[in-house]
Chain A
C-alpha cells in the first residue's frame, strides 16, 4: 500500500494497536520544561516509579525564566520556585537539564533542532502545543498535556488515536518581502483557527521545498493555530545539510546509514490523504492579524473585514468582540495603525535567520522614538551567534534591547508583558486576548514586517525598506 510520511513513522512506532483502544505509540524524544512537568513528576513519586528512559528525556527552562540578568537568582518568587522544582526533579530522577546558565539553554523547540536531537522519522512530544515545530525535519511531533507527560515519563509511550492526514501544498514563487511566517499566517487565515482540528498536516509543494530549514520550522510551528495536532515536511538534502555534524547526530558510518533510512521516509507517489488543500505562493502578501485568534489575518495592504451579509451570525459576533478588544474599526486599513511595542521572539521566529531578516531592515536605521522594542533569542546559542555576526551592534544602534533566551512576551508568563491597551506587533504565534499580558493587543507578523514597523512606529509594509 502507498504510504504517507506520517503513516510510515506512525506504523514504525506502534507498540500495539487494538480495536476500540488507542494505539500505544513509542516516543523517541521527550522534551520537558518547568511549567508542564512538576505535576507529572509528582505522579511518578506517588506511584513510586522512575523515569523510564532518562536518555530519551531532554529538559530545559524556558517558559518562566527572566530574559534580563539571567545569571542572578530569579526575583519573582513563584517563578523561582517553579524553575527550582524542575532542577530538583531532574536531579532526583536523573534527567540531564540544560537550565539557566547552561550554554545549551533555550526554548525547547529551538534547542531540539539546534542540538541535533530532532531528526527525521522520530516521534517527539513535549508538554507544549508548539512541539509541531520539530515536524520540519520529517518527524511526528506534537504537544501533550501534563497527564500525557506523566505517561511518557512512566513508560516512554503514549496512548493516541491515529489522526486524519491533510496535505497542504503551496506551489510557485514567493513575492519579494514574503517569508515563511506570511505563508503560515495566510494558510491559517484561509482554513480558520479550527480548520485543521483532527488532522496531522504534511506541508508540500515547491514554495515549501524552497524554504530554509528555519523557515520550515516556522511553518510547522503554527500548525496548532489552525487546530492541527502537528505539521511535518519530508526530509530532503537541505534537511541533511542542516543536521550534519550537530552534537546529537550520528557520525561517520552511522550517519550514512541514517541518511539512507531517512531517504525512504517521504510520502510515496500517489499516497492518499484524507484531505488536500492547495495554495498558490503568488497569492501571498506580507500578512498581519487584526483580531484575537490567529485565523483573523489579512494581507497587510487590505482593510479589516466589515459586518456584512457574507458573515455568519457567529462570525459577526466574534468580529465585534475581537474588534472591541483590539480597539480597531471594521473596514479600516491596518497600514498606518499606531503601534507601541515590537516583540521579536518565540519558538516561531527567534532563530538566527529571523534575526538576520530583522537586521537586513534595521541596519543603519533607528526605531521610532515611542516604540519599545525587544529581541529575545530562542536560545543562548542563537544569542552567541548573533553577537558573532555583529547583529547585536545593529540592534543596539537601532535602539533595540537584546535579551537572554526564553519564551518571554510570547505568553507573558515572566515579567516581559505588554501593558493593557497597548499595541504590540509581534513575531510570536498567538494573538489571544491577554496573551501577552492582561489587555495587551497583539498583531502577529513576520520578522521583516516587525522590523519595518519598529522604524516607522506604525504598521508598515516591509517592502518599503527592501
Chain B
C-alpha cells in the first residue's frame, strides 16, 4: 500500500460506533471474510432486509474505496469485525477528524488506513463531495498526504513510523513479536517474584 487513488463515500455522522458498522448479531462467523455483506446493516437495510434507498451505500451517487466519516469514528466495542467489514466491502481508507483508539489499531492491523485530518479539512471534504460526488482523491502513504485531484484540498496526516513501515511492506505485528521471542522469554525469566500467575 503506497498510493490510493479513488472517489469517496461521505457519511457525515459523528460518533459512528462499531455496533453501527457491524451489529453484534452478525459476529458469529469464525473467519475474517464475508462481513462486508452486513456493513452498516441497520442503516443500509430495513427490518425485512430491503435496502434503504436514502442510505449512501445504496445510492449510486457516491462510490469508491475511501470512506469519509464524522468525528470519533469507530467508538465502542473492540470488535475487529468492524475493520474486517469495511475491508471486505472494499474500503481501503477511512477519513475522519478523530478515531477511537482500538478501532484505529484494528484498522491498521488489517491494512485499512485511518486518515485523521482536522475538523476544518473534514468539513471542506464533505463540501466537495456534496457538490462534486465524483471528485477524485489520492492518499499518498509515503508522503502522508490526502489530496483532491481537481479541488483545492491538501491535508497532511500522521501515522506511526512503525505502522507506516508495516503497511508499506506488508509486515505484521505477530511476525515482529515472534522474532523477539528470546527477548520476551528472558524478560519473563528475569522477574524476581511473580505473584501474577498462580494456577492450580
Which residues on A are within 8 Å of B, measured CB to CB?
15-16, 20-22, 24, 26, 28-29, 35-36, 38-39, 42-43, 47, 49, 55-56, 63-64, 78-79, 81-82, 85, 116, 119, 121-122, 127-129, 143-148, 150-151, 154-159, 161, 163, 193-194, 197-198, 224, 227, 229, 247-250, 254, 257-258, 261, 293, 314, 317-318, 321, 411-413, 417, 420, 430, 432-435, 438-439
Contacts and interface: CB of A to CB of B under 8 A. Distances in A.
Contacts of B172: 147
B15 to A, nearest CB: 5
A22 B162 contact: yes
27 contacts: A15-B187, A16-B180, A16-B183, A39-B32, A47-B174, A49-B178, A64-B28, A85-B30, A121-B195, A128-B78, A129-B102, A146-B81, A147-B105, A148-B173, A154-B174, A155-B177, A155-B178, A155-B180, A193-B15, A194-B71, A197-B75, A227-B100, A229-B101, A248-B199, A412-B25, A413-B24, A439-B47
Most B CB contacts (10 A, CB to CB) among A47, A150, A159 go to A159
Contacts of A430: 17, 19, 76-77
Given A85-B30, A194-B15, A438 B23 contact: yes
A24 B183 contact: yes
B183 A15 contact: yes
Contacts of A28: 196-197
Contacts of A435: 19, 24
B137 interface: no
Given A82-B28, A82-B29, 9 more contacts: A15-B187, A26-B184, A81-B28, A119-B195, A147-B172, A247-B200, A321-B13, A412-B24, A412-B25
Contacts of A21: 161-162
Contacts of B102: 129, 143-145, 224, 229
For chain B, which range describes its interface: under 10, 10 to 19, 20 to 34, or 35 or more residues? 35 or more
Nearest to B176: A159
A250 B198 contact: yes
Question: For the complex, would chain B's binding face be called helix, strand, loop or mixed by DSSP majority?
Answer: loop
A143 B78 contact: yes
A257 B195 contact: yes
B195 A261 contact: yes
Contact of B193 (A20, A79, A122, A257): A257
Interface string B20-60: 10011101111110000000001000010000000000000
Contact of A43 (B19, B71, B174, B187): B174
Contacts of A82: 28-30
A318 B178 contact: no
Contacts of B25: 412-413, 417
Given A129-B77, A250-B195, A24 B109 contact: no
Contacts of B70: 314
B184 A197 contact: no
A434 B177 contact: no
Interface string B175-193: 0111011011001100001
A420 B110 contact: no
B83 interface: yes
